[in-house]
Amino acid sequence: MGRCLTLAGTRHTEGAVTVRRDFAESAGCRFDLVIGREESFGAAREQLTRGGSVLLHGPAGIGKSTVLRTLAAEYARTAHTVLRCSATESESHLPFLALADLLGQVLDEVSDALPAAQRTALESALTGRGESTLQRDGLALRLAVLSALRALAAAGPVLVVADDLQWLDPASAELLGFAARRLGDTPVRLLCAARTEGPETEGAAYDRHLRASPPDTRAVRLGPLTRAQVSALLDERGYSGLPRSTVRDIHRTSGGNPLFALELGRALAESPTPPRPGEPLPVPTSLRALVLTRLEMLSDDARRTLLVASAGARPTPALLRAAGRENSEAETAQAAALGLLATDPEGPAVRFAHPLISAALYAEAPAPERRAAHAALSTAASDPIERARHLALSTTGTDPEVAARLAGAAALARDRGAPSVAASLGLLAARHTPADGAPGPDERRLTAAEDAITAGEPDLARDIAREVLTRAGAPGERVRAWMVVIEAAGQAIGEVDAVFPQALADAGDDPRLLALVHYQLAWRSLVVQGDFAQGREEAAHAARLAARAGDRRTELLAMALQAQAETLMGHPDAPATIRRALEEPQDPQVACHHNGAGSSRFRWLVMSDRLAEARTTATTLLREARRRGMAESEVHYLRFLSETELHSGHCGRALELSRESLTLARDAGIGEGAGAMQAALAEAAGGDVERALALAQEAVRRAEEDGDAVYLSRALAALGHASLVAGDARAAVRALRRVRELEAGAGITDPARGRWQGDLAEALVRTGEPAEAQDVIEVTRAHALRLGRESVLAVLDRAEAQVRAARGEHRSVVTRLTSARERLAGLGYGLEEARAAFTLAELHAGRPGRAPGPAPYDEAARLFRRCRALPWLRQVEEAVAARAAGPPPPAPAAVPDGLASLAPMERQVAALVMEGATNREIAARLFVSVKTVEATLTRVYRKLGIRSRVDIVRLAAGRRTGANE
């Protein structure tokens, strides 16, 4: 028999909050609790049976905890170890709390299996001894959690049961997600539940929760019950015999939510006079009203104890006693008997049966009683952040000492990598800061807004800044608030154009304030106007102003932006500017910011073909951004890593990273266009081409809506690439021609910026336009030679080989392709190496006299498999199948004089038709898609004034007759 460690108690079911017997049976397995959930329960059971993990999700009260508890009871029998945690909203700001629930009681068991550094970090986080933070001990903690789960799994299967993932503290969520993504075949299953409210946010919400689960996790949505299911639930819980009309009213009023339905059924059962048919239910639809009715049954002392519990982040009997509630155990038992609390006999926590009960209790309490509860907790709580929060909520009016303690707690939360908590504490600090305080209340509000930006909460930041601007008179505060408004706009900076004149007016002639404004003006030049030269000048001007004012932070950001513009422009000063931006002294937060010098250096390394250094740089930056809780920077660095892995030919890893980046971006509402762009490239290389096209189109749409000239060209390049992989060369040409125009207009000359030129040349060959393809190659080669972009030069050689093959110039093609492949392999561009091998295979396969079969493609297939480039591998398979369909057609006869007006590709296609070749055979021979052949024939018909392939054959027959005569 396996053992079960219930570390944070199986919570009371949402679907039966008032049924007292549930508490007594909480440790048992009640399959009848899943009424109306047969399909969902079956899907989850099937997933768990085959060793997978499950995420249950749906709105509050929908029955997730019921299904979770029932499944946990069933599968705990086969698990050697069961770990449980169940978070609440009030405790979600406390770092490592859920981790302590999961691993606290097995720490001694796994400690010996952990390396010293991991053991120290984990013990510090779980016990509260020391100052462990994600910022300082992030890697050690992540590895420690992973190692601990592996150590437990070595003794037998592990089941991790986590309820209310939406309230999981960010630190624990990050650690659990890190481990879950790396468990692989380790016998650890996760059974989780999360609240997702409303169809418009549900998808994004459960995507976010999936990050804390293994990759093979199955998401199971719990929806509302039907009227028949509500009736069965009421009958099972003892509320039988209700008229059909009443059941219909209950179903309508509850919206199919089992929690609300049962509460309405209970109220009806307890009502002395049931409603007559047609009359409304004798209770309001709000659960809060039902809760308050039952709260009246509590004694005054029990109600005060529950108020303290509702105010606390993590109420326990010990905490309640420390807060002055000496008879808390008896009083909480009374509340549990009324169905208000779900106490856990195996754990210390005191939990409300539903969060709404706690909220209703707290909201209805008189203000003096609420303040008294917080005052008691301000000394009873152990965490300094929690003590400061309670002190603030127990204090009325302004108090400089309270404000200072809150500001200190905000700084501590910031250091712990919890900027969202820092923002909320900062707002509390501002509320308690006297108007004449130093710093003043608005200054503290702006600090909170900046924390909100860091946390990926731009809407909150924007609201705070707008509020400050309604009354702030000091130029420094006004300019700072304008900067928050601009930052909150993200890539849609064009939407806040009206801000810039006001910010400049507020800045006056103060160089420090002017530096802030000109830094944002530099971004405007790049993003809105697509003018890299002007953006470079604005950034350089901002750096000079900041240096004069002694504002090192702004100076570093401005130099980094200048370096980024110079890098993308192919400006010769880029390396020197990057070196200046990396000089000491550095600002720690700027150093790992996605717009800092480290990011600029990464971009320069990638464009300079130094992929290994680029990967190391991005990995370091990502680690530091995660430690600091910098959500937007994390999104971008995941994307950077995906880009590096894609260049290196690690398509599976690139796909994983791009999906993670896009998920985070959508969660936070930041960087979604850039995330979709990179995800499109990764999908086209290693995933699903149709999804790649959809993502690329989304990226283009977002860039156009935001007026973002910087990402519009990159999104179009992704669309062109995805179209090429999908076999639609004409769509690829349309998209990539726009890229060429945009980059020329922006002054971008470095071909390593988007690396789209080879794709455009190849697409032009496929559409029968080799002259334009050659022009693209020659112009790009001049810039690549000037800048020393070796990988770009190799790709151009591959493209030129295709141009020459299309013209029938075969002699130098093999040598050029072989050289290109070898150079790409030496530089570490695995996917481009495989593409060169594929082009070489197509050339060999198309030569006269070659026997049908897959041999020419074997090496290309091997390289694509090594890269896990599935869409490309499918192209190889299609080429082999086309070749196996029959021997290649003979060499075309001399072209009739009537075809002289056709373009080279059109003449080749027409000549092969004259020899009787099918469209598929022509495509294989000319290294183009069947669609390209069809489009070329359409142009041939139009130019020659004919209607079909038969007419082309007649032309050939006429020519042969004339020759015989």
Residue with tokens 């509860």: 373
Residue 539 is which amino acid?
A
Give phi and psi for 953, each to the nearest 5: -60, -40
Q: Which residue has the higher pLDDT, 903 or 849?
A: 903
Give the residue among 708, 712, 716, 747 at the shortest CA–CA distance from 568: 747
pLDDT of amino acid 687: 94
Query: Is 630:622 a contact under the CB 8 Å cutoff?
Result: no
Question: Rounded CA gap, 176 and 103, in Å?
Answer: 11
The rounded percent of the chain whose pLDDT value lies above 70 is 84
**Residue 342: predicted pLDDT:** 74
Sign, Cα dihedral of 577, 580, 586, 592: positive
Burial group, residue 492, by CB count within 10 angstroms (0-12, 13-18, 19+):
middle
Single-letter amino acid code for the residue at 631 = A
Is there a contact between 574 and 567 (Cβ–Cβ < 8 Å)? yes
Where are the strands (E) in 173-314, listed by range?
188-195, 218-221
pLDDT, tens digit, for every residue of 257-310? 788 788 778 777 777 776 554 444 554 445 556 566 677 788 889 889 988 988
Quick: pLDDT tens for 376-412: 998 888 888 888 888 888 888 888 999 999 999 998 8
Q: Percent of the chain, pLDDT > 90?
A: 35
Sign of torsion, CA 729 732 738 739? negative
Among 21-25, 886-890, 915-919, the minimum mean pLDDT is found in 21-25
pLDDT value for 277:
42
With contact defined as beta carbons under 8 Å apart, do 521 and 538 qualify? yes
Pair of tokens at residue 791: 């990988």
Report which DSSP code applies to 789. -
Amino acid 152: pLDDT? 92
Q: Dihedral, CA atoms, 159, 165, 168, 170, nearest 10 degrees? A: 100
pLDDT one-digit tens code per residue, 588-623: 888 888 999 999 999 999 999 999 999 999 999 999
What per-residue confidence (pLDDT) applies to 291?
A: 64
- For residue 411, list its beta bridge partners: none
Report how far residue 140's alpha carbon sits from residue 134's, in angstroms, rounded to the nearest whole number.
9
pLDDT at 29: 39
Tokens representing residue 133 in the block: 């933070």
pLDDT band (50, 70, 90) for residue 64: confident
Q: Which two tokens stand for residue 803?
A: 């141009």
Reported as half-sphere exposure (CB side, CA atoms, 13 A), residue 158 has a value of: 23
Of the two residues 719 and 452, the one the predictor is more confident about is: 719
How far apart are alpha carbons 786 and 307 in whole angstroms?
A: 72
The dihedral over CA atoms of 325, 327, 328, 333, expressed in degrees to the nearest 10, equals -160
Stretch (H or E) spanning 161: strand 158-163
pTM for the model = 0.60
Does the pLDDT at position 802 exceed 70?
yes
Distance (Å, whole) CA 922 – CA 912: 7
Q: At what angle do helices 709-725 and 689-706 cross, to 10 degrees?
A: 160
Sign, CA dihedral 748-753-758-763, equals negative
Under 8 Å CB-to-CB from 277, ≥6 apart: which residues?
A: 243, 245
| Whole-angstrom distance, CA of residue 70 vs CA of residue 284 | 31
Evaluate if residue 471 carries a pLDDT over 70.
yes
Phi, psi torsion values for 740, nearest 5 degrees: -60, -45
Q: What residues have CB less than 8 Å from 335, skipping those under 6 apart?
A: 298, 302, 305, 306, 341
Strand partners, 86: 163
Residue 3 three-state SS: coil
User: CA nearest 918: which of 842, 728, 851, 926?
Assistant: 926
For residue 303, the Cα-to-chain-centroid distance in whole angstroms is 43
In total, the chain counts a number of residues equal to: 965
Whole-number Å distance between alpha carbons of 605 and 575: 10
What pLDDT sits at residue 199? 42
Q: What is the pLDDT of residue 835?
A: 95
DSSP 811: T
Cα gap 423→453, rounded to integer Å: 9
pLDDT number for residue 851: 46
Yes or no: say if 850 and 888 are a contact pair by the CB < 8 Å rule. Answer: yes
Answer yes or no: are the C-beta atoms of 950 and 943 closer than 8 Å.
no
CB neighbourhood size of 904 (10 A): 14
Tokens of 137: 């001990």
More confident of the two residues 61 and 927: 61
Helix pair angle (367-380, 300-311), 10° resolution: 60
Q: Is residue 5 pLDDT above 50, yes or no?
A: no
Cβ–Cβ under 8 Å, residues 893 and 915: yes
* Max avg pLDDT among 590-594, 651-655, 879-883, 909-913: 651-655
- Quickly tell me which residue has 């109420």 as its tokens: 315
Tally of CB atoms within 10 A around 743: 26
**Which pLDDT tens digit goes with each residue over 136-186?**
677 888 898 999 999 999 989 999 998 888 888 888 888 888 888 888 888
Cβ atoms within 10 Å, residue 652: 16
Q: Which of 213-227, 450-464, 816-830 has the highest mean pLDDT?
A: 816-830
- The mean of the pLDDT values for the chain is 82
What string of DSSP letters covers 670-690? Answer: SSHHHHHHHHHHHHHHHS-HH
How many CA atoms within 13 Å lie on the side-chain side of 882? 27
The residue with greater pLDDT, 100 or 758, is 758
First vs last C-alpha separation in the chain: 97
The pLDDT confidence band at residue 850, using thresholds 50, 70 and 90, is: low
Residues 6+ apart with CB under 8 A from 921: 882, 885, 886, 888, 889, 912
Phi, psi of 820 (to 5 degrees): -60, -45
Distance CA 790, CA 796 (A): 10
Is residue 302 within 8 A of residue 350, CB to CB? The reply is no
* Nearest-angstrom CA–CA distance, 533 and 595: 18
Q: DSSP secondary-structure letter at 187? A: S
432-443 confidence digits (pLDDT tens): 999 988 899 999
Q: What is the largest CA-CA distance in the chain?
A: 119
Average pLDDT over residues 798-825: 87
Does 241 have pLDDT greater than 80?
Answer: no
3-state secondary structure of 594: coil
Residues 423 and 413: beta-carbon distance below 8 Å: no
In this structure, are residues 804 and 770 in contact, taking their beta carbons and an 8 Å threshold? no
960 contacts: CB under 8 Å, gap ≥ 6: none
Strands 188-195 and 54-58: parallel
Cα 112–chain centre separation: 35
Model confidence at 907, pLDDT cuts 50, 70, 90, reads confident
